[in-house]
Structures are given as C-alpha cells and as structure tokens.
A and B are shown apart, each in its own frame.
Chain A
Amino acid sequence: MLVYYLIISFLIGVGTAFNRNQTVRIVLLALFMMVQTSVTIFAYLHLNTDDLVYFKYDALGVIFMCVLTLLSFTTIFHSHIYLRHRRDDSRSQSLYFAALIMLIVAMTCAYLASHIGLMWVFIELTTLSVAALIYHERTSLALEATWKYVFVCSIGITITFIGIILLSFGMGVTVQIDFSFKALQEQLLLVNSSWLKLAFLFIIVGFCTKMGLFPMHTAAIDAHTAAPPPISAFISTTLMNVGFVAIFRTYSLFANTAIQSWMNQVLLWCGLISIIVSAAYLLTVKHLKRMSAYSSIEHMGLTAIGLASGGIGYFAAIFHMILHSFVKASVFYQIDQFHRNFGTYMIGETGNYFNRNRAGGMVFLLALVGIIAMPPSGLFVTEFWIFKAMFASSHFVFLILALLFLSVCIYILAKNFLYILFNQTKNLIPAEEKTAASETWSQYFLLALLFYFGINPPVQMIQLIEEAVKNLP
C-alpha cells in the first residue's frame, strides 16, 4: 500500500508543480487528500504490520498520522483562502502546493519509519520542503527566517547523524548492524553506558531542532514568525509532532538500559529550560505570531517534562501533543484572518477585534481558554496528569519551577489575547475587506475536538496511545 501511496503522491506532486490551471489544481489536491485519507484508514486497520521492509504501522505513528491528515484538510482549505487574498501568480501557487504535498508525504513516512536511518532521511526531507514554504512571501524577512531555519536544521541533522554513528560504534563494528528499532532495542542492553549517554545526547540535540526544545529552539521561532499563517499552523503542530515522535522513539529505544534515569534528567532539564526561555521572551514580545511560537515552545517543554516523568506522564505527553496540535492550528488559522482585518501582526497596534469580527473574536477567546489549559479544555487534563506524574516521581523542584514559569506564560498570553480582543482605547482603521464567517468553521471544529476530547476521549484513541506506551518502564 505504501508503495502505491508514494508513487501516486509523487506523480501528483510533480503534476501540481507544473500545472497552472486552477481547477486542475483543486482536482489534484482533492485526489491527494483522498489518497492520504485512505492510507490513514488502511494504517489504522492494519495496526502493527510491516510494510515495505522499513515501515511499520505502529500505534504511535498511526495516531499522529490521523492528526496529520485532519490538519492537512484544514491547511489546504486555509491555504486557498490565503493565496486567493494575496493574489499570487499561478506559478508560485503551484510551487507552494507541490512543496506542501512533499511535506505531507515526508512527514507521513517519518511517522511510519521503523528504521532509524530512514526516519532521519525523511526528517531531512521535511526540512527541505518546509524551507521552500517559509520562503513563499519572498521578503527579506522571510529569507532571513528561511536561511536560519535551513542552517540550524542542517546542523541539527548532522549532529543526529553523528549520534547514530556513535551508537553503531558502541555496539561494535564487527558485524553488520540492523538499524531497525526492534533490533536495536535488544542490542542496546549490551552496550557500555558512557557510549549510550554520548549517543543519546547527540541524537537528542539533533531532534530538538525539529521539536523546538531548549538548545535548538531558535530555528523554530523565526520560522513560525515569518512563514505564511497556514504554513505556520502546519509546522507548529505536525512538524513539532515529528520531532516528538523521533524523540519518543529514541527514548523508548534507550528506555530499558542503564541510563534511563540520566535520560530523564536530561529531558527534564531541556523541558524546564524551554519553559523558562519562553516565559522570558514572552514578557517582551510584540508580534502576534511570535507569541504563538513561544507558546508552542512552552508546550513542547511541558511535553518533554511529561515524557521524562514516567508513569501516566507518557500517556499525558502523547495526548498533550495531539490536543496542542488542534488548538495551535486554530490559533494560527485565525491569525491569518486577523492579519487580513488589521493589516499588521503587531499586538500593540490592534484592538477591539471582538467587535470587528465577532466569529473570529470568539475563536480567539475559546482558543485562549484552550491554550492556557482552563478546565473545559483537554489541555487541562493532560497538564494535570503531567504534574501528577512529576509529583509521583519526586521531581518536586522541577514541578515548582515549571508551575511558576507556566503561570508567567499564562499571564502574558491572557493579557495579549484579551488586549487584541477587547481593547477599545484607540481609533483603528476599519478593515478593508470583511472576512467571511464561513472561514472560521474549521477552527470551531478543531476547538470543539479539543474540548470534547478533554471530557470524553474516544476509546480507539485511548487504546492507540496505551498501545504506544506499553513498552516503556
């Protein structure tokens, strides 16, 4: 099945790149989404089977694939609106969608790869396709962001490669090593622990670039600020999920060896410092998309802490990533409308959004509730579980510091969102074009999913997540 998927998507991608007709483009995209959905359903039905030697439909990959497919629908929908309003010429639109298709395919394969080298290759491919997308607006700001992103990600991916080589050294070079995750896990128990630590450190630093954790968070921030809003939505959610899947797989690879408590320490520190960094930057932020990017970093930090705390933390970490994808995507989609309404992203120059665009303002209000993890939101449940896991594993100092800096982040987010929604002290230029309320249906849908999953998550999802964490200690 995966062979067909790859071939068909490749053909569709090439077709989209060269096509200039609008209707043909819509048809091709619809075709691609059908293929994508069918692969997702196929993967769900054939859980835990291998395909094409190096791919496996395991539970973790399938969950995130479902999220990816759902968000691809909304992203393509919003990309159309965005491109139509920008009145781009047909050639750049074709390139945009071709790169988007390549990105979706690369991410799907990265989720499903069961061989560490192959996963690494596909993550590299995502970097390349995202670069083309971030540069879409062709301003000098976009160029700067693309350059930084490509460069930092290249360095990160090289460091991961070094980690993989070190891993193979630790296992001895006398025999051909099978790099699939299953085989690696058994062989790792025999390796010297200082090798394991070194290899783990290098691999994690590389993947932190993708996920946006402490040492390498800078790439993500600039990219999310300068990219077109639908792309920001996409990469702030699904691409960070790819990083999370990579880190999760690495973690479970090393989980039963002697270095597990050391690994937990490393992840705890990375997560905590990410939260501190985002709190520090949030205090002075003035650009709306940048603020959302920092909030993503903070949530990634929380997820890393959850992963490192063990127990219910594993479950909570995966669940947190899924729900965060929903809410962050809706925030970024709405920011696109916001931008069309005001013409700027700067928080200080806007206000009174609630009255100018009732539907959109409502989205922001609900998204605010969602992202700061107030009770009807599902994020409340997952953050509660993460804190419970931290308490249960006796990381009290980390718990206190995380709560402290999280409060700072919540304060800033609430302050800024309420400012843009309700501030009526300025005379603002009225909007040039009215944004239709129908554009917000996707965001309401995602927010509804967020709130519903918090209260009553579907059984199949719970089963999948439990399946994914069952091998961890």
Chain B
Amino acid sequence: MINILLITFAISLIYMGIANRLSTVINILAVQGIILFGVSLIELIQINTINLIFILFETIVFKTIAIPIFLNNVIKKNNIVREAEPFVPDFASIVIITGILLGSFILSNIINVEHVRKMFFIVAISALFTGLFIIISRKKVVTHIMGYLVIENGVFILSLSAGSTMPMLVNTGITLDIFVSVLVLGIFVNRIGNTFEEMNVDHLTNLKD
C-alpha cells in the first residue's frame, strides 16, 4: 500500500512539471500532503500515540490545509498573474523531471541501499531534485516557495523511512518545516508583495556588480 502511495507521489511530481497555472501547483501540494498523511499513518503506527498524533496533525493541517490556503491568499492579495512563468520551455522541464526520476533510480542502485527501502529513497531524492529544478526554472517568487515545499516533502519522506525507530528525526524535520515556512511565507513574501509590484525574480536583480 505504501508503494502505491509513493508511486502516486512520483506521478504528482511529473504532473507538477507540466502544470501551467499556479492553482494547479497548489492543488498538487495539497494532494502531496494527503499522500504523506497516508504514508506516515501506515509507517509510524507503532510509535507512541502522542508523537503519532502530532505528526499526523502536522501533515494534514499544515501541508494540506494551511499552506495552500495561505498561498492562495498571497496570490490573491498581491494580484499575481496566475500563470507560472518558466525560464525553460515546458517540454524541456518534463524531460528533465523524467531524467531526475531515472537518475535517482540509478543512484539508489549504485549506493546499494540495504537499510532503507529503495522506494522511499528514490522518491525522496527525486522530490529533492525536482524541487530544486522548479526553483531554478521559474520566475515568480511564489513558485520558488512551492519548490521549497516540494523539497520539504522529500525530506519528510526520507525521514519517514527511518521513522519507526527514530521518531526524533521526523519531529525535527517537522519543526524545520513549520519554522521556516512561517518565517519565510509569513513575513517576507508579503513584504516583497508590498515593495515590488510584480513578484518576479526579474525585479530582484538590483544587487549586482
């Protein structure tokens, strides 16, 4: 069952590569939150209940509900145009994401993972690099944040694969998530929206030689 959820997660990464509108990407993030909820429920059923409830609570409330609502508000309040403007043409981006999936598969075979299930490793590493790619290839600041959230999801999956023996690791990951998201999203994005009219990275190029 976990494998099915992880495959769905990988498909959501592919879909993110071809998504054009910002609201589609936010929906994908919400779906990823639900998938992570399912995976953590199945994986961590053995650890003590308080921890489990905390983790489940965090995935559902934070990743699935709070962050998408917040992102939607940011987009509405700053009147951001609803298309994601990429630097790279869409076709190339999906080729690259496929390449990333293939690459992480090959990497997992080279490293010869014994202790952790391969599926977790592959999906986590693909999420990491896909998130990085989304950050690099898009112009809008909001999509940078979405790429960062994808990276966070990848880290979460990676920490889940050892989660039943080391719940502290998962907790630290969640703390990172909440902390940085609250700071980054909560404070700076609105500032940027107030200071610059159009939240493009093109406008953030004044600091140079």
Say whether B179 contacts A150, CB under 8 Å: no
Assembled-state Cα–Cα distance A194/B144 (Å) = 31
Chain B residue nearest to A117 in the complex (CB): B172
A93-148 contacts to B (CB < 8 Å)? 117, 121, 124, 128, 131, 140-141, 143-148
Say whether A143 contacts B191, CB under 8 Å: yes
Assembled-state Cα–Cα distance A192/B176 (Å) = 28
A141/B144 contact (C-beta < 8 A), A173-B115, A173-B162 known: no
Say whether B111 contacts A195, CB under 8 Å: yes
- Nearest Cβ in chain B — how far from A284, in angstroms? 5
B128-147 contacts to A (CB < 8 Å)? 128, 132, 135, 141, 144
Q: Which residues of B contact A165 (CB under 8 A)?
A: 155, 158-159, 162, 169
Does B151 lie at the interface of the complex (its beta carbon under 8 Å from any beta carbon of A)? yes
Does A290 lie at the interface of the complex (its beta carbon under 8 Å from any beta carbon of B)? yes
A151/B144 contact (C-beta < 8 A), A146-B188, A226-B207 known: yes
Specify the main secondary structure of chain B where it touches its partner: helix
Q: Which residues of B contact A194 (CB under 8 A)?
A: 110-112
B154-209 contacts to A (CB < 8 Å)? 154-155, 158-159, 161-162, 165-166, 168-169, 172-173, 176, 179-180, 183-184, 188, 191-192, 195-196, 204, 206-207, 209
- Nearest Cβ in chain A — how far from B184, in angstroms? 6
Residue from B113, B151, B188, B196 within 8 A of A140 (CB atoms)? B196
Q: Which residues of A contact B161 (CB under 8 A)?
A: 169
- Nearest Cβ in chain B — how far from A297, in angstroms? 14
Residue from A141, A159, A169, A286 within 8 A of B162 (CB atoms)? A169
Say whether B151 contacts A143, CB under 8 Å: no
Q: Which residues of A contact B192 (CB under 8 A)?
A: 143, 147
Residue total for B at the interface (Cβ-Cβ under 8 A):
41
Say whether A158 contacts B151, CB under 8 Å: yes
Say whether A173 contacts B195, CB under 8 Å: no
Does B119 lie at the interface of the complex (its beta carbon under 8 Å from any beta carbon of A)? no
Does B148 lie at the interface of the complex (its beta carbon under 8 Å from any beta carbon of A)? yes
Residue from A145, A154, A173 within 8 A of B148 (CB atoms)? A154
Does B116 lie at the interface of the complex (its beta carbon under 8 Å from any beta carbon of A)? yes
A148/B204 contact (C-beta < 8 A), A162-B155, A165-B169, A287-B209 known: yes
Does A375 lie at the interface of the complex (its beta carbon under 8 Å from any beta carbon of B)? no
Assembled-state Cα–Cα distance A169/B118 (Å) = 12
A317-349 contacts to B (CB < 8 Å)? none
Does B152 lie at the interface of the complex (its beta carbon under 8 Å from any beta carbon of A)? yes
Say whether A151 contacts B184, CB under 8 Å: yes
Residue total for A at the interface (Cβ-Cβ under 8 A):
46
Q: Which residues of B contact A169 (CB under 8 A)?
A: 113, 115-116, 161-162
- Nearest Cβ in chain A — how far from B200, in angstroms? 12
Residue from A158, A225, A285 within 8 A of B207 (CB atoms)? A225
Does A441 lie at the interface of the complex (its beta carbon under 8 Å from any beta carbon of B)? no
Say whether B110 contacts A168, CB under 8 Å: no
Does A174 lie at the interface of the complex (its beta carbon under 8 Å from any beta carbon of B)? yes
Say whether A144 contacts B158, CB under 8 Å: no
Q: Which residues of A contact B151 (CB under 8 A)?
A: 155, 158
Say whether A154 contacts B184, CB under 8 Å: yes
Q: Determine which residue in A140, A148, A176, A195 has the highest number of CB atoms from chain B within 10 A of its CB, and name it.
A: A140
- Nearest Cβ in chain B — how far from A171, in angstroms? 8
Chain A residue nearest to B196 in the complex (CB): A140
B82-108 contacts to A (CB < 8 Å)? none
- Nearest Cβ in chain B — how far from A168, in angstroms? 6
Assembled-state Cα–Cα distance A195/B124 (Å) = 16
Besides A141-B207, A158-B151, A161-B176, 17 more A-B contacts (Cβ < 8 Å) are A124-B180, A140-B206, A143-B188, A143-B195, A147-B188, A151-B148, A154-B184, A159-B128, A162-B155, A165-B158, A169-B116, A176-B165, A192-B112, A194-B110, A281-B209, A284-B209, A285-B209
Say whether A155 contacts B116, CB under 8 Å: no
Does A58 lie at the interface of the complex (its beta carbon under 8 Å from any beta carbon of B)? no
Say whether A162 contacts B148, CB under 8 Å: no
Q: Which residues of A contact B115 (CB under 8 A)?
A: 169-170, 172-174
- Nearest Cβ in chain B — how far from A113, in angstroms? 14
Residue from B152, B206, B209 within 8 A of A286 (CB atoms)? B209
